[in-house]
């Protein structure tokens, strides 16, 4: 009897192992192959269940075997969920709350006139020499730059970088994902962090989901969304967390250097214009504010941890994040 039990138990184990092998092969196969594997796994699961019942009848005892094949497969499906699917879901959830910030300013409007280069010298008055000279003819409002931000409240508060909205003489326009263009006011520029808050007058706007940057790990997958090069709205790039608690010196628009401490290093591309955009985890939570990239480098960019600016958000918006 003991030999029969051992034999039956061995058969159950062999079938269970075959099921596990099929579960492993399941991933990375084509949809047609996956259907065939599904059928084989179901058959093996039935065999395991039948043998287990017979084993329990003969022995009169409850026999513990490996988890059911369906459970094994389900665990793997959850764990091995396609990164592409996670990425697209995270972007779809967050992109509607990512905005472009257009910087406009009054710049001189020039016209060309022709003048005698020798002025009023009578000796040269009859030579007919004229050279083109530029002179100002008023001013004209035009776009001088662009950056990115993201909505943190449904009533129009937007988080971005301070250097994106640093010019107090400029005006700012926010381009929403639904195509609307709204005038914006800079309501806060932080003196220590490269962070600022912009406000637009609108209601029921989509917002991002703020995460917790304290639990980030090296090698963790991340997503950057931004207004790449000031031209391409909601451009998406992916990468990993390459470093934590970095200290960098960034060059500002006026050429001065600014030290930024404790930033996240990532190899996700953060192009000019992406500044102020969100850095996301694969579950769509914002864990950083994209701030800088190393010019001429290969995929070295930086993001301010979201926990560094939560107190700023709370103070400005009157909400608790």
pTM above 0.75, yes or no: no
Question: Cβ distance 126 to 155 under 8 Å?
Answer: no
Of the residues 23, 213, 235, 275, only one is catalytic, namely 275
Question: Cβ distance 117 to 131 under 8 Å?
Answer: yes
Backbone angles phi, psi at 249, to 5 degrees: -120, 115
Residue where a domain terminates, one of 54, 79, 104 = 79
Higher pLDDT, 188 or 30: 188
| Residue 114: strand, helix, or coil | strand
Q: How many Å separate Cα 68 from the centre of its chain?
A: 38
Domain-located, residue 7: yes
**Separation CA 236–CA 148 (nearest Å):** 12
- Active site includes 267? no
Domain-located, residue 262: yes
Domain-located, residue 53: yes
- Active site includes 163? yes
Q: Which of 38-47, 120-129, 250-259 has the weakest average pLDDT? A: 120-129
* Domain housing 250: 209-317
Residue where a domain terminates, one of 29, 53, 79 = 79
Q: How many domains does the chain have?
A: 2
Residue where a domain terminates, one of 60, 79, 98 = 79
**Separation CA 48–CA 66 (nearest Å):** 9
Domain-located, residue 196: no
The dihedral over CA atoms of 128, 129, 134, 138, expressed in degrees to the nearest 10, equals -20
Domain-located, residue 6: yes
Domain-located, residue 103: no
Domain-located, residue 184: no
Q: Does the pLDDT at position 178 exceed 50? A: yes
- CB-based contacts of 153: which residues, under 8 Å, 6+ apart? 205, 207, 317, 319
CATH of the domain at 240: 2.40.10.10
Domain-located, residue 106: no
Q: Does the pLDDT at position 152 exceed 50? A: yes
- Active site includes 275? yes
Of the residues 23, 194, 235, 303, only one is catalytic, namely 194
> What is the per-residue pLDDT across 200-226, written as a single tens digit (0 to 9) for each?
999 999 999 999 999 999 999 999 998
Of the residues 163, 235, 267, 301, only one is catalytic, namely 163
Give residue 39's pLDDT.
Answer: 67
**Separation CA 283–CA 259 (nearest Å):** 31
Q: Which of 12-26, 58-72, 94-108, 195-209 has the weakest average pLDDT? A: 12-26
pLDDT band at 161; cut points 50, 70, 90: very high
Q: Does the pLDDT at position 185 exceed 90? A: yes
Q: Which of 108-112, 171-175, 234-238 has the weakest average pLDDT? A: 108-112
């Amino acid at each position: 009897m003991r030999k029969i039990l051992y034999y039956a138990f061995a058969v159950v184990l062999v079938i269970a192992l075959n099921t596990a092998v099929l579960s492993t092969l399941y991933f990375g196969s084509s949809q047609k192959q996956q259907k065939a594997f599904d059928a084989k796994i179901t058959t093996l699961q039935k065999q395991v269940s039948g043998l287990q019942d017979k084993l329990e009848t003969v022995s009169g005892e409850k026999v513990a075997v490996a988890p059911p094949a369906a459970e094994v497969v389900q665990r793997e499906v959850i764990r091995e969920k396609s990164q592409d699917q996670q990425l697209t879901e995270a972007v779809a959830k967050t992109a509607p709350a990512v905005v472009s910030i257009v910087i406009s300013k009054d710049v001189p409007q020039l016209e060309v006139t022709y003048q005698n280069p020798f002025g009023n010298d009578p000796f040269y008055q009859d030579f007919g020499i004229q050279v083109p000279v530029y002179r100002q003819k008023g001013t004209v409002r035009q776009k001088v730059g662009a950056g990115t931000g993201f909505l943190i409240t449904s009533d129009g508060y937007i988080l971005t970088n301070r250097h994106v909205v640093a010019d107090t003489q400029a005006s700012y326009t926010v381009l929403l994902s639904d195509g609307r263009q709204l005038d914006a006011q800079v309501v806060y520029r932080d003196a220590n962090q490269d962070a600022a808050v912009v406000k637009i007058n609108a209601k029921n706007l989509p917002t991002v989901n703020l995460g917790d940057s304290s639990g980030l790990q090296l090698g963790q997958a991340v997503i950057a969304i931004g207004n790449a090069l000031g031209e391409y709205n909601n451009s998406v790039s992916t990468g990993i967390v390459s470093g934590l608690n970095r200290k960098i010196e960034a060059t500002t628009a006026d050429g001065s250097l600014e030290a930024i401490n404790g930033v996240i290093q990532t190899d996700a591309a953060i192009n000019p214009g992406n500044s102020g955009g969100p850095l996301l985890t694969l579950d769509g939570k914002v864990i950083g504010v994209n701030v800088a990239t190393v010019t001429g480098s290969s995929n070295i960019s930086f993001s301010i941890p979201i926990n560094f600016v939560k107190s700023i958000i709370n103070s400005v918006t009157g909400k608790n994040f």
